[in-house]
Amino acid sequence: MNSIERVLTAINLKESDRIPLFLEVVSELEQELYEKYRLKGNELFTFLGNDIVSCAIGVADSWGQMLNSSDEVDEWGIGYRTVKHRNGIYAEMIYRPPEKASLKDLKNYKVPDHEDEERYSGVIKLKEKFGDMHAVMVDLSCTFFELSWYLRGMENLPMDMYGNKNFVNYLMDKILEFYIPAAKKLAKIGVDIIWIGDDVGMQTGMIMSPEMFREFLKERYRLLINEVKRLNKNVKIAFHSDGYITPIIGDLIEVGVDILNPVQPKCMDPAEIK
């Protein structure tokens, strides 16, 4: 089997010749590997055995760019500063445009331009270079909940979800204005996997109740996934959340998720989940 056959066989619940691999590392380790092998990015990881190649679009791409940029504000209007910690660095959010906004103010907030063709040029190049042999995956994670708290603040958003629901719904619908057209564009390009998701789990339980997940997030995931699969039924959907999310796995299956990432052994029993 080549890599794409291996990945699709496993996703379709059949036995592949070996478990498909998808490795990512922090930028500091990638630099060390570059110094050893003189390879970076997907070239490095396919050399190391990855079956999947990937790139990111949306806010998952924005904060990564902040680590290698002199800019202080990304295209969503989120302000960052670069923080050094021991031998590494990370981008810390310090400004959020709708953090103190009212619903009236929020109506003036503009999401980035999803029609910008340059945004998808890296995906097209990735597919052209690797698509015959490797599964091509595009990361649209931090999709609704995470991007909402990136914009609103982690203290404000959970309070809004209890007492300011109209604001939350309007904010998440604003985010949909970017992510659904972007996902549809990726479906038309013909990527193999679209990676969505939000961290809604902790080590000991969920960040929000399953009922609140269903109120704010479930149907938005369903809408996005339905739009993708209506255009290209062969696209697989991966969903990411750290932590314990056992109570909503049935909901994820229901809305069309094909791949769950990760299954954290200290939070969930991998044998039970399988």
Q: How confident is the model at residue 253 (pLDDT cuts 50, 70, 90)?
A: very high
The C-alpha atoms of residue 197 and residue 250 are separated, in whole angstroms, by 15
Per residue in 155-189, pLDDT (tens digit) is: 999 999 999 999 999 999 999 999 999 999 999 99
Task: Give CA angle at 139 (210, 177), nearest 5°.
Answer: 70
Predicted local confidence at residue 85, as pLDDT = 79
Name the residue type at position 142.
Answer: C
Q: Are strands 79-85 and 52-56 parallel, antiparallel or unpaired?
A: unpaired
In 156-256, which ranges are continuous DSSP H helix? Answer: 156-163, 165-189, 210-213, 219-231, 249-255
pTM: 0.93
Tell me the pLDDT band of 121, cut-offs 50, 70 and 90: very high
- Which conformational region is residue 49 in: left (phi greater than 0), alpha (psi within -120 to 50 degrees), or beta? left
Q: Which pLDDT score, from 0 to 100, does residue 67 have?
A: 65
CA distances from 95 to 92, 101, 136, 158 (A): 9, 13, 33, 18
Partnered with residue 79 across adjacent β-strands are: 73, 95
Average pLDDT over residues 127-153: 95
What is the structure's pLDDT at 124?
Answer: 97
Largest Cα separation within the chain, whole Å, is 56
Structural domains of the chain in order of their starting residue, each with its CATH number: 3-273 (3.20.20.210)
Out of 90-94, 175-179, 188-192, 261-265, least confident range: 90-94
Backbone angles phi, psi at 76, to 5 degrees: -90, -5
DSSP string, 228-247: HHHH-TT-EEEEE--S--GG
For residue 102, what pLDDT is reported?
Answer: 86
Apex CA 57: angle with CA 52 and CA 58, to 5°? 145
Burial class of residue 70 (count of CB atoms within 10 Å of its CB; 0-12, 13-18, 19+):
exposed
Burial class of 54 by CB neighbour count within 10 A (0 to 12, 13 to 18, 19+): buried
Average pLDDT, the chain: 93
Give the whole-angstrom CA distance, residue 247 versus residue 94: 33
- Does the structure show a pLDDT above 70 at 50? yes
pLDDT of residue 128: 96
Residue 105 has what pLDDT? 86
Q: 34-48: per-residue pLDDT in tens?
A: 999 999 999 999 999
What are the pLDDT digits (tens) for 191-219? 999 999 999 999 999 999 999 999 999 99
pLDDT mean over 103-122: 91
128: tokens are: 């052209």
Q: At 94, is the pLDDT very low, low, confident or very high (cuts 50, 70, 90)? A: confident
Q: Is the pLDDT of residue 28 over 90?
A: no
Q: How confident is the model at residue 101 (pLDDT cuts 50, 70, 90)?
A: confident
Contact between residue 196 and residue 237 where contact means Cβ atoms under 8 Å apart: yes
* Residue 118 neighbours by CB distance under 10 Å: 7
**56 vs 85: which has the higher pLDDT:** 56
pLDDT range class, residue 84, cuts 50, 70, 90:
confident
Q: Is 232 exposed, middle or buried (0-12, 13-18, 19+ CB in 10 A)?
A: middle
**pLDDT average, residue stretch 104-125:** 92
Closest CA to 150 of 183, 174, 116, 166: 174
pLDDT, position 61: 83
Per-residue pLDDT, averaged over 22-29, amounts to 88
Q: Burial of 194 by CB count in 10 Å (0-12 exposed, 13-18 middle, 19+ buried)?
A: buried
